[in-house]
């Protein structure tokens, strides 16, 4: 039995399962060929340019942000050129659909839906909006294709993708169906896509310049951009819905939103029809939910920053004289002995002491650092 075990040859480091089953792996003198997947494909090159490379990704983010801001500006231009009191012809298929502005003395349920569904969009402005929508749609679909990892619903059900489809697909439909060229499209929702692009652009910017960014700065940017997006959405939404009511201008809508969200409430400018009133209620609820969360995160970051003693920026490090004290555990006795001995020398009076410690500071150490 021992001799039989000695005669059994060890298995080679590489063999095929078929040869092992057939028993002819011992006399197999063929050369093993290994296949490697070439990752330098066209898709990988696009992914490297649009996603992986920091500098090129930053350029893409900046272009996307500028595109969204341009679409919002074109929407404002369309609103400024619009006059719902004028008679409009050829709304749908050449049908004469004269519209009259509904005065505020009418009941709240009586208004013309055509003033909300259809707008007056000049042909050059429509062409610019279609061009911007086509570029934005192409970029979005390309990024979805490059970031696809097997779950298509994860890409489709994302809020930025849904907003992108709402603001771009109808414009491309108007190219095929010219009768819908004056259909209202909520392009002002692109402000939220611009906010999303701005956050990604800031992250890519800090990665490209290889500097650590402050979480406090990011949170402040998110808070300010959220406030701007809420105000812009409310202003544009109320202005459009009131085309069938008081026919408010953008400035009137801005005045109403500022007065309402600041809880002043003069009452001289108010929405007159129920769709605009419902929008105001929805925006107030959204503001009451979103803004406290943003302020809470900002306050939490501020408290954490106060606990850690603050940041010492690169600019201060280049312009100020400083020394770095690295300790594993910061005690009040050790700190006071070091500071007294360090600042006892006259030449060291102008130096700053930067303390690096992984442990959390106690109350006494924090008091000494705040009031030396």
What's the mean pLDDT when you consider all of the chain? Answer: 77
Burial of 32 (0-12, 13-18, 19+ CB in 10 A): exposed
At 17 the pLDDT is 43
- CA distances, 11 to each of 15, 16, 79, 307, 317 (Å): 8, 11, 79, 62, 63
Task: Answer whether 195's CB lies under 8 Å from 162's CB.
Answer: no
pLDDT at position 372 over 90: no
Q: Which residues are within 8 A (CB) of 259 and not within 5 positions of it... i.e. 6 or more apart? A: 265, 266, 269
Q: Where are the domains of the chain?
A: 38-84+112-188, 214-308, 314-370
Band (25; pLDDT cuts 50, 70, 90): very low
Q: What CATH code is assigned to 214-308?
A: 1.10.287.70
Please write the tens of the pLDDT for every residue from 302-349.
776 666 555 666 666 777 788 888 888 878 888 888 888 888 887 887
* Percent residues over pLDDT 90 in the chain: 23
Please write the tens of the pLDDT for every residue from 84-120.
666 444 444 444 444 444 444 444 456 778 888 999 8
Residues in the chain: 372
- Residues 178-201, mean pLDDT to the nearest whole number: 91
| Alpha carbon distance 60, 67 (integer Å) | 10
Q: Which of 1-15, 91-105, 174-188, 354-368 has the highest mean pLDDT?
A: 174-188
End-to-end, the C-alpha distance of the chain in Å comes to 85
At 99 the pLDDT is 40
Write out the two tokens for 370.
């705040």
The answer, as to whether pTM is greater than 0.85, is no
Band (67; pLDDT cuts 50, 70, 90): very high
Q: Which of 149, 142, 141, 146 lies closest to 168 in space, CA to CA?
A: 141
Residue 355, φ and ψ in degrees, nearest 5? -105, 125
At 32 the pLDDT is 52
Band (210; pLDDT cuts 50, 70, 90): low
| Alpha carbon distance 297, 15 (integer Å) | 58
More confident of the two residues 178 and 371: 178
354: which strand partners?
A: 324
Lowest mean pLDDT among 161-170, 205-214, 324-333: 205-214
At 315 the pLDDT is 66
The H or E element spanning position 200 is: helix 190-208
At 195 the pLDDT is 92
Q: Which residues are within 8 A (CB) of 344 and not within 5 positions of it... i.e. 6 or more apart? A: none
Task: Answer whether 241's CB lies under 8 Å from 275's CB.
Answer: yes
Please write the tens of the pLDDT for every residue from 228-287.
999 999 999 999 998 888 888 889 999 998 888 888 878 888 888 888 889 989 988 988
DSSP state of 141: H
Write out the two tokens for 367.
């008091």
Q: At what angle do helices 190-208 and 215-241 cross, to 10 degrees?
A: 160
- Residues 7-33, mean pLDDT to the nearest whole number: 49
At 199 the pLDDT is 86
Band (3; pLDDT cuts 50, 70, 90): low
């Amino acid at each position: 039995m021992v001799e039989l075990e000695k005669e059994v040859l060890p298995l080679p480091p590489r063999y095929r399962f078929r040869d092992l089953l057939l028993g002819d792996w011992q006399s197999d003198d063929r050369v093993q060929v290994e296949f490697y997947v070439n990752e330098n494909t066209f898709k990988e090159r696009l992914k490297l340019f649009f996603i992986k490379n920091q500098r090129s990704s930053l350029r893409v983010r900046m272009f996307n942000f500028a595109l969204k801001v341009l679409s919002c500006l074109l929407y404002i231009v369309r609103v400024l050129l619009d006059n719902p009191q004028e008679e409009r012809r050829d709304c749908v298929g050449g049908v004469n659909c004269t519209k009259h502005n509904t005065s505020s003395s009418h009941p709240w349920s009586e208004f013309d839906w055509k003033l909300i569904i259809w707008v007056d969009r000049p042909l050059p402005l429509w062409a610019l909006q279609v061009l911007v929508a086509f570029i934005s749609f192409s970029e979005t679909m390309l990024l979805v294709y490059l970031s696809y990892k097997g779950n298509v619903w994860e890409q489709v059900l994302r809020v930025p993708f849904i907003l992108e489809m709402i603001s771009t697909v109808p414009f491309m439909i108007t190219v095929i169906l010219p009768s819908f060229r004056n259909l209202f499209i909520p392009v002002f929702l692109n402000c939220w896509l611009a906010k999303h692009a701005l956050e990604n652009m800031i992250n890519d910017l800090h990665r490209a310049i290889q500097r650590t960014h402050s979480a406090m700065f990011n949170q402040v940017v998110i808070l300010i951009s959220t406030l701007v997006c809420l105000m812009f959405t409310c202003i544009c939404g109320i202005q459009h819905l009131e085309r069938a009511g008081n026919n408010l201008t953008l400035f009137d809508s801005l005045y109403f939103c500022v007065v309402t969200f600041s809880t002043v409430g003069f009452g001289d400018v108010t929405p007159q029809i129920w769709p605009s009133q419902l929008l105001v209620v929805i925006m107030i609820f959204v503001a009451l939910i979103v803004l406290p969360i943003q302020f809470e995160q900002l306050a939490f970051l501020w408290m954490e920053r106060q606990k850690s003693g603050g940041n010492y920026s690169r600019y201060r490090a280049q312009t100020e004289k400083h020394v770095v004290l690295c300790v594993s555990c910061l005690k009040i006795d050790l700190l006071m002995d070091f500071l007294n001995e360090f600042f006892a020398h006259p030449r060291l009076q102008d130096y700053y002491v930067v303390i690096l410690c992984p442990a959390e500071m106690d109350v006494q150490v924090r008091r000494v650092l705040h009031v030396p």
